[in-house]
Amino acid sequence: MNINFQQIYEDQIDDITKELLKFPRHYADLSHETQRFVEELIQVGYSRAVEDALDPEVLEETAALSREMSDQLSSFSGLVKGFLLSQKLEGED
């Protein structure tokens, strides 16, 4: 995982938030300790987001929904094909 902490700090965190915390606008101007704190917050947030997105229960539910949607689309496709075939046969009469 290659995270650009400077870009996140400078582009994603509002200047108002930085001002309220009395943090500088630029990442390089942060103290080493504050940089480490910001990096840890970002890493924890990133890890948590990945864990939540890859939660086995959520993935199982997503797979079940995907199967259901696939079955419905397949049924709809059969219905459309049947309709087109009947139209074609009627047109030949």
Domain coordinates of the chain in residue numbers? 1-54, 56-93
Location of structure tokens 């229960």: 57
Name residues whose C-beta falls within 8 Å of residue 82's C-beta, 6 or more positions apart in sequence. Answer: none
Could you tell me the two tokens for 85? 């075939």
Tens of pLDDT, residue by residue, the chain (93 residues): 689 999 999 999 999 999 999 999 999 999 999 999 999 999 999 999 988 888 888 889 999 999 999 999 999 999 999 999 998 888 776
Cβ atoms of 10 and 27 within 8 Å: the answer is yes
Location of structure tokens 């990133």: 46
Give per-residue pLDDT as tens, 57-71.
Answer: 888 999 999 999 999
Phi, psi of 44 (to 5 degrees): -65, -45
